[in-house]
Structure 1
Amino acid sequence: MKYVIGVDLGTSAVKILLVNQHGDVVYVVSKSLSLIQEKTGCSEQNPQDWVDQTILGLSDLLKTFNGDPIDIEGISFSGQMHGLVLLDENNGALRNAILWNDTRTTAQCQEIYDAVGKERLLEITNNPALEGFTLPKLLWIREHEPKVYAKADKFVLPKDYLRYKLTGELQMEYSDAAGTLLFNVTEKKWSKEICDVLGIDLAVCPPLVESHAEVGNLTPEVAEKTGLTNTTRVFAGGADNACGAIGSGILEDGKTLVSTGTSGVVLSYESSNEKEFQGKVHYFNHGAPDAFYTMGVTLAAGYSLRWFKDVFADNESFEEFVADVDTVPIGSNGLLFTPYLTGERTPHADASIRASFIGIDGSHVRRDFVRAVMEGITFSLHESINIFRKNGKIIDTIISTGGGAKSEDWLQIQADIFDAKVVKLSSEQGPGMGAAMLAAYGCGWFDSLQECANEFLAEDKVFRPNRANVEQYKKLFTLYQEVYRQTKELNEKLVEYRK
């Protein structure tokens, strides 16, 4: 039996999957990572921690593996998007990496708009300037740490640095490059225009490759430390959302992924870059060849439900907490919730807005609130689906992953609100599986990623929309949308009172 490895470099942990030729996950190893948050809005990590924990995880995996290491043919990577790793002329990290959830760069986003123009930026990158992206971080370093910036020879994203340390080869692939704001998504090349306007040397941008491209082999030193062989083929990999899409089979038009983690993601496959979303959703290069994906984000999706549980049912299991939501009617007995605990991203890029319960009365009990939170999260995710459909996308099949797939009642709520077939996969490994699939495809096990998905992925249960429920939720969705407009100004006035 032959095997591949998928490495998913997340924010809180690096997760490593060993997958065989049938798509069975043979072993899973996870190693935790720590954040460095010295000031409000700052979020960093030491790049060496990624390397150390990955090598440790691979070593643990090989100690458990009973087969011949020569049968592990390939390895590929998924990684957290938008982070900035600055390298010197010897490819050494100049400072801690600034992560995707770092928000110190508001002024730099405005600097980008002033120099490039909002419309022109959208034309080139297909995305607005947001604090989480890479380019604003690069400009922040130039302004606040000029000595560090002067030494910068290249920048890469987190998984690219990890891959470099394992192979000695430095590249970035298209799906992660698309999240930098320095990349022409349509032409699949770095934007000389943006670099020139902002005074950035184009040479700081690394070489580009496809996600399935073979980029080298493990170094002898890494092979010795991990127990792998230095003949193990290494493939570029992709951004976590691109790999999550691959690992969920989002590889053809009409298929959409809804992932309910701490944040929520609605990701839809695009066979071309011809659609126009006016910057309301993200538009990135897919990890699949010559494809794209559009993406909307709910900042506090699963986090909203976890917050409510932690405050009001800390000692209960998740299953106990949501056990009786099916006894609550649609609309939670007249209760609406907006999941803006940490602001919102899609369709409202608003850092000031906060969550609301609307319609509370003395008859409401806890299960009403639990269902209202589930419905509110799903309404927020539906905002992105609504944008897609208004711009001509057909969305008929949705793969649901994350916390939202752990409750069958919630899956039915999703089917009714989204008015689409919602599918739960039999095995959910997300970005790590997507990375493994890129390695399997790169090794030549399959002629396409779709063929790989047909072998590796299987449906567990399908939830279909109930027409009567769909109509009720359509009316409630219009009320949900009104809450943002009615509370926006109030929340702006409350900012001064927040700690």
Structure 2
Amino acid sequence: MSYVAGIDLGTSAVKVLLVDKHGNVKGEASSPLDMHVAAGGVREQNPDQWVDATIEALKKIVESVPEAATSIEGMSFSGQMHGLVLLDEKRQVLRPAMLWNDTRTSAECELIRTTLGEELYTYTKNPALEGFTLPKLLWVKAHEPDLFSKATSFVLPKDYLRYRLTGALHMEPSDAAGTLLFHPAKKAWSHEMCHALDIPVSMCPEIVLSTDEVGTLVRDVATQIGVSNDIKVFAGGADNACGALGAGIIAPGETLCSIGTSGVILSYEEQDIDVDGGVHFFNHAKDNVFYTMGVTLAAGYSLQWAKDQLAPNESFEALLDGIETIPPGSRGLLFTPFLNGERTPYSDASIRASWIGMDAEHTRVHLAKAVMEGITFSLNESLQLFRQAGKTINTVVSIGGGAKNPAWLQMQADIFNATVVSLENEQGPSLGAAIIAAAGCGWAPSIDMVVKKFVRRKQEFHPVKENVETYQNIFQLYQQVYKQTAEMCESLAVYRG
């Protein structure tokens, strides 16, 4: 029996999935990660911790599935995007990694916008946001100039991990697209961006494809894990790109709805596309295709917050009991999920959440359903942007917290006006990484055929015509709330402390 290993380097843990040639998960293990959090938006990790945690998780796999020691044919990686790892001429780490959720780079984002203007989108297809890698490079350059002068290259988290496991330093397009120094459609570093902001092009690593074999495990690492050092290692992809593979998003018209702490709407693209509203445009892990992506900052977090306030000592099931009996619109109650500001389509850090239309006859279940509807309306704003750009969206694969409740899945179908699909075995980015390894090992003639073998759909939810019409009317009201409350929320910000 042959296996592949999919390694997902997340923010809170490293997860490893062991998969056989039929797409069956034969083992999984994880190792936790720590994050340094400090005032001013500091979010950092020690890159060495990623290596230690990955080796630990792989050792757990071998211990639980002993035949894996001699049967892992290949491995690949999914990784948290945007994080900055700076290396010197000896490829030693110069400082802790600045993560995707490190927000101390607002001034650097403004510098990028004022320097590039409209050319920013021309060169990168993306807006300048605090999470991206380029603002972090500029922050180090401005605040730690001596250290920056020693830097000869930078990589993203999974690429540093892969380097430590193989000795080979590369980056691939799906992660490079999130640096703001890369042009997704050209699949090349943007020399214009580097020159405009005085970042040496030589710092940008060599680009390889996600399914390219970049080496084998170094002997010392293989010995620590307890496996052969001839395991083939493939480049892998960014977590969202791998998540798309793991959800089977590989054809036109297919879209992913992922509801975790934040929410993501990710739609497959076969060509360059212009979408207004701050939508991201990144490379897919599948070669020569792309995805557009919109983000709701407080998706599942909004429901968790509501549970903490309304039902702190009860389960989610208790909180949501009876929501299917409440008609669309929660009896005239609207919720906007702006608890932490909003990303798509507003990119507004000051906006805050609202319940609109509350009266004395609303009960806890009305409030809960309104929160779920508000989250889904926010995600629908990204879908609307895609459709306005000419995209056809007929199928939405739903994963995460939004896929755990049948009433919520039906609500998504009605608000999105599309067929919503749940998965039989939801494994996310780690399965996407395993798919890349399987394709690299030649387990099927194409990555699409690996996906079709590994990803199994469970249930379909179809839009109900009368609900679609009702939600379309309510959605128009939902979109007015931001316009009516943005200035008020900005004025209230001074009282938040």
Which interval holds the TM-score relative to the shorter structure?
over 0.9
Distance 2:372 2:168 in 1: 45
Correspondences of 1:24-423 after superposition (within 5 Å): 24-117=24-117, 119-273=118-272, 275-278=273-276, 280-423=278-421
* 2:217 and 2:233 in contact (8 A); partners too: yes
1:55, CA displacement in angstroms? 0.6
Identity between Structure 1 and Structure 2 (%): 57
Distance 1:207 1:276 in 2: 27
User: CA 1:292/1:68 → structure 2, altered by over 3 Å: closer, same or farther?
Assistant: closer
Which deviates the most, 64-73 or 371-380? 64-73
AA aligned to 1:182 is L
The yes-or-no answer on 1:22 pairing with 2:22 is yes
Secondary structure of 1:172's counterpart equals coil
Which deviates the most, 58-67 or 209-218? 58-67
* 1:254 and 1:395 in contact (8 A); partners too: yes
State the Cα deviation string for residues 330-378 of structure 1 (Å, max 9, x = none). Answer: 1011110000000000000000000000111111110001100000000
Q: Mark the runs of 5 or more structure 2 residues left unpaired by the alignment.
A: none
AA aligned to 1:362 is A
Which deviates the most, 470-479 or 41-50? 41-50
Distance 1:209 1:317 in 2: 46
Distance 1:498 1:332 in 2: 29
Distance 2:328 2:192 in 1: 51
The yes-or-no answer on 1:424 pairing with 2:397 is no
Which deviates the most, 260-269 or 40-49? 40-49
Secondary structure of 1:329's counterpart equals coil
1:38, CA displacement in angstroms? 1.6
Distance 1:461 1:371 in 2: 22
Q: Mark the runs of 5 or more structure 1 residues left unpaired by the alignment.
A: none
* 1:84 and 1:138 in contact (8 A); partners too: yes
1:426, CA displacement in angstroms? 0.2
Distance 1:307 1:96 in 2: 31
Secondary structure of 2:268's counterpart equals strand
* 2:85 and 2:154 in contact (8 A); partners too: yes
Which residue of 2 is the match for residue 11 of structure 1?
11
1:69, CA displacement in angstroms? 2.1
* 1:265 and 1:295 in contact (8 A); partners too: yes
The yes-or-no answer on 1:435 pairing with 2:427 is no
State the Cα deviation string for residues 412-437 of structure 1 (Å, max 9, x = none). Answer: 00000000000001010010000000
* 1:127 and 1:279 in contact (8 A); partners too: no
Distance 1:155 1:331 in 2: 49
AA aligned to 1:339 is P
Which residue of 2 is the match for residue 495 of structure 1?
493
Distance 2:210 2:478 in 1: 39
Runs of 4+ in 1 over 4 A off after TM superposition: none
Distance 1:62 1:277 in 2: 46
AA aligned to 1:441 is A
1:160, CA displacement in angstroms? 0.4
Which deviates the most, 31-40 or 443-452? 31-40
Secondary structure of 2:82's counterpart equals coil
Which residue of 2 is the match for residue 450 of structure 1?
448
Secondary structure of 1:221's counterpart equals helix
Distance 2:127 2:6 in 1: 31
User: CA 1:8/1:38 → structure 2, altered by over 3 Å: closer, same or farther?
Assistant: same
* 1:8 and 1:15 in contact (8 A); partners too: yes
* 2:233 and 2:437 in contact (8 A); partners too: yes
1:116, CA displacement in angstroms? 2.0
State the Cα deviation string for residues 76-98 of structure 1 (Å, max 9, x = none). Answer: 00001111000111111111100
* 2:277 and 2:345 in contact (8 A); partners too: no
State the Cα deviation string for residues 378-397 of structure 1 (Å, max 9, x = none). Answer: 00000000000011000000
State the Cα deviation string for residues 253-302 of structure 1 (Å, max 9, x = none). Answer: 000000000000000000111x2113631000110011000000000000
Secondary structure of 2:37's counterpart equals coil
Distance 2:307 2:62 in 1: 38
Which deviates the most, 367-376 or 190-199? 190-199
Secondary structure of 2:16's counterpart equals strand
AA aligned to 2:341 is G
* 1:126 and 1:279 in contact (8 A); partners too: no
1:68, CA displacement in angstroms? 4.8
* 1:243 and 1:287 in contact (8 A); partners too: yes
State the Cα deviation string for residues 139-197 of structure 1 (Å, max 9, x = none). Answer: 00000011110110110000001111111110000000000010121211111111111
State the Cα deviation string for residues 201-249 of structure 1 (Å, max 9, x = none). Answer: 1111111100111000001000011112101000000000000001111
AA aligned to 2:194 is C
* 2:3 and 2:20 in contact (8 A); partners too: yes
AA aligned to 2:61 is L
Distance 2:421 2:382 in 1: 18
Distance 2:259 2:320 in 1: 16
